[in-house]
Amino acid sequence: MLEFINRMLGRENSSSKNVAKERLRLVLVHDRASISPHMLNQLKEDLIKVISNYMEIDESSLEVNLNQDDREVALVANIPVIKMKRDYAARG
């Protein structure tokens, strides 16, 4: 994910030090939030299942992460929507 962001910002030649630093930051956020990578993956699968009831999404580009500042942890989801499902009410 970090490599993708760097490419988008034109910083393709990111040093391995910065990559390692970002990976460590993500590990610390997961640790402080008391959520395992397995649980985060399960959360991602559940989000896909629920959101897919309402819209068609690009699952291959979906990103779910935890971000932390000094006082709080935020769940950040980037979910590319292909199209809305207009017939959801008819199914229920």
Burial grade of 37 (CB within 10 A; 0-12, 13-18, 19 or more): exposed
What was the pLDDT predicted at 3? 60
The pLDDT of residue 19 is 74
Q: CA-based diameter of the chain, in Å?
A: 53
Q: Is residue 45 part of a domain?
A: yes
34 in a structural domain:
yes
pLDDT at residue number 55: 93
- In which element (H, E) is residue 65 found? strand 63-68
Domain of residue 63, residue span? 2-85
91 is a domain residue: no
Asked if residue 92 is part of any domain, the answer here is no
Total domains present in the chain: 1
In a domain, 77, yes or no: yes
Residue 20 belongs to some domain of the structure: yes
* Residue 33 located in a structural domain: yes
pTM: 0.53
* 57 located within any domain: yes
